[in-house]
Structure 1
Amino acid sequence: MMSVRPPHHRRRTVRRLPAVLAGATAGLLVAGLAAAPAVADPRNPAPLGTVARTVGHARFVPGPCPRTADPVPALEGARCGSLTVPENRSRPKGRKITLGVAIVPAADTGARASDPIVWFAGGPGDDAVSEAQLAIDGGLNRDRDVIFMSQRGTYSADPELTCPNIDEFNARAVGLVYNAPSTGRLHVRATRACRDRLADRGVDLSAYNTTESAADYADLRRALGLRQWNVFGISYGTDLALTYLREHPKGIRSVGIDGVLPPSLAGASLTWSAARQGFDGLFEACAQQPACNSRYPNLSDTFERLVRELEARPVTTTVTVPDRPAPVEVVIDGGVLVNWLTSATHLAAGVPRSIDAIAHGDPQRIAEQWAGGKLSPQAVGRLAHGLAYGVFCSEWTPFESEADVIRAGRRAFPSFPRSVLANAPQLPFLHADCRAWDIPAAPRSIRDVTRSDVPALVTSAGFDAQTGASNGAYAARTLSRSTVVTVPYVAHVAFAESPCAQEITVSFFDTPDRPNTSCLADLRPPEFEIAP
């Protein structure tokens, strides 16, 4: 079921971004009447999350808060429980799975709105309950309860489909040539080993996907007795949010998406376009800052030259990593450099200096960041690879070929070697992994565009090299009451880095057709580090 654009909608665009982001979409797409006020279910006067309820084949039961990998102070005082649903809804009387639920009360209980916000985590495979601190630190619970439910398979769900062996391989792989066929074979071996372990536990791997997760949230809303709620998704959570809006539109007052991944475009090919946009945003910001441009001229050309040179002749260095007693050997080739920068835009101020250092024979800064991320204790046993591959291998790879990925890479980076282009950023050996994961393709309808007149906030970031800013403008074309914002000078998921993005998001849930975007005018680029 889909909502369609009303025939007499209005649209106006307000540009507020600096010249460095002139190519990105900014402004407001506003239409229609204000959203109807949310109404609490009069049959449920008890505090949200304190009543057990069965709806169809789903049941919510109050109980202890879900486990988290690290302490989450925001969960102190939360009301918690679990939602039990069928693992595979085509067999509703078959195996059941349990999803952890935590509800953080509104900070201002006197002004608490009756329509809460539900948080959709990214990944795929990140745990929503563990992200509660991010949401609360951003003020999302100012005057609304915020609901966190673990997506199926994630850390606080049962079963959890984490694959520590894959994380451990990724740590060892810092000493391997990134794009080498031998590395690919080891990568796929780790993927297959995890698949076999989960299948031996009786997990139906084909049931961990966006369609089933969207149905889980539809069940949760009804099981909590809510007539309306608001949705906020980040990264892959935007794909889930758009799918949920398309398939279960009832009861949704408004939708915020940040770091947009439209289901109709999602895949490895899209990541090349995102990398181009994020890299260019950062390089252009440096070029417009006289000190940075003078010290690091032609940064984009330097970076692309280094990718070619390092892919042909990788360099090996040794670094010391926290919590590791012995030095670690790190190989940096062209693929590593691309993947490092895809994440390093979060540390934008130091990027030009790091690129200049390796251009002059010093790979230490990049090697330390690359190895530190892979070898961190937070990198092991937390991501639900079982859900990630459930999404990748049923919803992405069946609808794009390996040749498509290379063509997309060549459009974005014509000078890159084929060995680099074959492995899209952060998705190495994806098609080979999916052949090993061996699950059926989703129906083609999973790639449908979402059309809706529910008020939507569509937020992108100027330095986002993982889901480019153009994705937001694309998704908004069929969301008739959308506000489109690009927050400059921050990386993937603006809400996580920008107080301005947080202000806009909170104001959106208060007035979904007219969020306050005035803070965009005051944003300035980072002061880039200048080496002696």
Structure 2
Amino acid sequence: MIHTLLNRRAVLAAALAFPVLPLARASAQMASPSQAGPFRFKGWRGEETDAERGFFEVPEDRRDPGSRKIRLGYVRFASTAARPGPPIVYLAGGPGGEATGAATGPRFPIFMALRAVADVIAFDQRGTGLSNAIPERAAPTRQPPVFTQAGLTSWFRSELQSAWADWTKAGVAMSGYNTEQSADDIEDLRRQLGAEKIDLWGTSYGSHLALSVLKRHGGRVNRVALSSLEGQDQTVKRPARIDAYLRHVDALLATDPATRATVPDLLALMRRVHTRLEAQPVVTAVTLKGAPAEIRMGGFGVQMLAGGLIANPDTLAMLPGLYLALETGRTGVLTPFLGDVAGLLRLRGMPEAMDMASGISPRRLALVRREARSAVLGETLNFPMPQLLGAVPGVDLGEHFRAPIRIDHPALLVAGSLDGRTPLAEQDEVATQFRRKSRVIVENAGHNVFESHPDVQALLVRFFRGEAVADTRLALPPPKFRVT
């Protein structure tokens, strides 16, 4: 998916600190070195390890004989095993996350532990990190939009159309940035590594990509371990499923009498705030290209903020206090979440193109829009999808891409019960495609479930070693909600 737009790619740095902050450090570490070969990799909390940087070239759009070649990069952590198994390829979420960035964050110990099984490959997908060949676009010079549904939708559609034209003029084959092309990149990576087969380890959008790899190159895949599942037709999540999640959160609030007295009905509180602010946006202090500025924040913008907060328990805990403050007119509570708005509104190309290409089936789109009319967060969870549909014609991969498949590979599927980005009910649908699966549910964990509980790492190592892993339920303490 966290990330730039206020969407699942984790633009709200305070709301989704893990996807954003390690990536910022990774860019400084990894973007300038372009030379293949050994180097010292700086990981989590000052730890270092030996690693190897590698590159290979692929067509930017394999369907166009005239498209340019792009250079894709990865970092290899060599196995410590006497007889290593198939390389384990990490697929980051987003779309737009960097695998090399994830390896600098709290997931670093898992990368290191898996070396006991095989080489571990942090592969930056096309358009990210070491594999980014899309020119950076300057921050928009016009005034920011009003953060309402109409204002933000109009802004991003026009900005994307303008950016797409500029990138195309610069020689970028933007139509090549889709999940099928990325799946073919994984097959080319396998050849580059000289491996007969590979294992896949992915999260969120990385699971979406893994499903496409299995569909297109399943014979070259050995095992898969995936978390926070996103299915072939789940780029846009169902609003009704988010409502069910929020009702579960409200039930957790009810276990504390003092909190319940302060927030009698969380969903009703959220609806009141959204309705009032969408009708009368409030002026909010922000930074615009390094200088103090103001934006008008509507209910749609607050819904998007909530969509980031519900990803993980530590930020979910902020939700009641945020809405109580907004209802009582303390709108300054929004300022820490917005940061530099110029950065939030800058398009990157790869995430937008990937999501538009994965698209949404007509049947699901109708369902999403019907549910959104009454849902607490409406259509905000995956903004700017489905709002960008049709902004660039001809990029949708179609119904064959979104069709489910039967998967016979051994699979370990990990989920958190408090994941508000890919709710369990959505993940359950994806899991039915796997015939040889073990499921690990971590009670009270969120979207970043791999590093949420210490036992998950050991289960991953056992699974990739080929050992049997039974269905497992782990537990963490529930979040401590803040209402002041």
- TM-score under structure 1 normalisation? 0.74
Structure 1 residue 515: deviation in Å? 5.3
Counterpart selection for 1:510 from 460, 465, 469: 465
* Partner of residue 115, structure 1: 86
Rounded to whole Å, the distance in 1 between the matches of 2:268 and 2:459 is 35
Question: Does the C-alpha gap of structure 1 residues 145 and 429 become closer, same or farther in structure 2, counting only changes over 3 Å?
Answer: closer
Q: Which residue of 1 aligns with 2:206?
A: 237
Distance 1:262 1:63 in 2: 34
1:62: how far off? Answer: 8.1
Structure 2 match to 1:354: 322
User: CA separation of 1:72/1:528 partners in 2, compared to 1, >3 Å: closer, same or farther?
Assistant: closer
Q: Distance in 1 between matches of 2:137 and 2:204?
A: 21
What residue number does 1:220 align with? 189
* Match in the other structure for 1:525: 478
| Contact 1:255 1:455 survives alignment (8 Å) | yes
| Amino acid paired to 2:371 | A
Partner in structure 2 of residue 29 of structure 1: none
Match of 2:381 in 1: 425
Structure 2: unaligned runs, 5 residues or longer:
1-33
Equivalent pair of 2:175/2:353 in contact (CA under 8 Å) = yes
Q: Report the alpha carbon displacement of residue 141 of structure 1 after superposing the two structures with TM.
A: 2.7
CA apart distance, 1:309:
2.3
Per the TM alignment, residue 497 of structure 1 is displaced from its structure 2 partner at its CA by 4.2
- Within a 5 Å distance, the mapping from 1:13-162 to structure 2 comes to 63-64=36-37, 76-91=49-64, 95-106=68-79, 109-110=80-81, 113-134=84-105, 136-142=107-113, 143=116, 144-160=118-134, 162=136
Counterpart for residue 343 of structure 1: 308
Question: Does the aligned pair in 2 maintain the 1:74–1:136 contact within 8 Å?
Answer: no
SS at 1:257 equivalent: strand
Q: Which residue of 1 aligns with 2:9?
A: none
Matches within 5 A, 1:385-404: 385-397=348-360, 399=362, 404=367
Q: Which range moved further: 87-96 or 306-315?
A: 87-96
Report how far residue 354 of structure 1 moved. 1.7
| Counterparts in 2 of 1:295 and 1:307: CA distance versus 1, 3 Å | same
Q: 1:256 aligns with which of 219, 225, 228?
A: 225
Aligned to 1:292: 259
Contact kept, 8 Å, 1:507 with 1:515, in 2: the verdict is no
Cα separation, partners in 2 of 1:426 and 1:473, compared to 1, 3 Å: closer
Decide whether aligned partners of structure 1 residues 91 and 74 sit closer, same or farther in structure 2, where only a CA change above 3 A counts: farther
Name the SS of the counterpart of 1:331 in structure 2.
strand
Structure number with greater CO (CA < 8 Å, separation at least 6) is 1
Q: Can you give the 5+ residue segments of structure 1 that lack an aligned partner in the other structure?
A: 1-60
1:78 alignment partner, SS class? strand
Q: 1 CA distance for matches of 2:396 and 2:481?
A: 45
Deviation at 1:228, TM superposition (A): 2.9
- Deviation at 1:92? 5.8
SS of equivalent residue, structure 1 residue 119: strand
CA distance in 2, matches of 1:407, 1:327: 39
Match of 2:371 among 380, 399, 408: 408
Residue identity in the other structure for 1:205: M
| Alignment partner, residue 332 of structure 1 | 297
Larger radius of gyration: 1
- 1:151 deviates by 1.2
Against the structure 1 CA distance between its residues 76 and 286, is the aligned structure 2 distance closer, same or farther, given a 3 Å change threshold?
Answer: same
Which residue of structure 1 aligns with residue 440 of structure 2? 485
Q: 1:100·1:156 contact (CA, 8 Å) conserved in 2? A: yes
Post-superposition Cα deviations, 1:313-345, rounded to whole Å, max 9, x if no partner, equal: 2222336x6x98654424332212211111112
Go from structure 1 to structure 2 and tell me whether the alpha carbon gap of 1:62 and 1:450 turns closer, same or farther (over 3 Å shift).
Answer: farther
Secondary structure of 1:436's counterpart equals coil
Contact 1:150–1:156, Cα closer than 8 Å, also in 2: yes
- Asked if structure 2 preserves the Cα contact closer than 8 Å seen for 1:458 and 1:485, the reply is yes
Counterpart position of 1:33: none
Secondary structure of 2:130's counterpart equals coil
1:279 paired with 2:246, answer yes
Q: State the AA in 2 paired with 1:282.
A: V
Distance 2:369 2:325 in 1: 29
- Give the CA deviation at 1:179: 1.4
Which is worse superposed, 472-481 or 124-133? 124-133
Counterpart in 2 of 1:12?
none
Q: 1:80 offset after TM fit, Å?
A: 1.2
Matched-pair identity in %: 26
- The alpha-carbon deviation at position 79 of structure 1 amounts to 0.9
C-alpha deviation, 1:84, in angstroms: 0.9
**In the TM superposition, what is the alpha-carbon distance from 1:130 to its structure 2 partner?**
2.2
Which of 416, 431, 451 is the matching residue for 1:476? 431
In the TM superposition, residue 527 of structure 1 has moved relative to its aligned partner by 2.0
Residues in 2 aligned to 1:503 and 1:296: alpha-carbon distance in whole angstroms = 39
SS at match of 1:190: helix
1:156 to 1:525, Cα distance in 2 relative to 1, 3 A: same
Q: Does 1:207 align with 2:160?
A: no
Q: Structure 1's 183 and 517: CA in aligned 2 closer, same or farther, altered over 3 A?
A: closer
Distance in 2 of aligned mates of 1:406 and 1:500: 39
Paired residue secondary structure (1:250): helix
Query: What SS does the aligned partner of 2:264 have?
Result: coil
Distance in 1 of aligned mates of 2:192 and 2:48: 21
* C-alpha deviation, 1:276, in angstroms: 2.5
Change in Cα spacing, 1:272 to 1:369, as seen in structure 2 (3 Å) is farther
Distance in 2, matches of 1:74 and 1:88, equals 38
Partner residue of 2:411? 456
Q: Alignment partner of 1:391: what SS? A: helix
Number of the residue aligned with 2:5: none
Amino acid at match of 2:327: A
Q: CA deviation at 1:128?
A: 2.1
Distance 1:459 1:429 in 2: 25
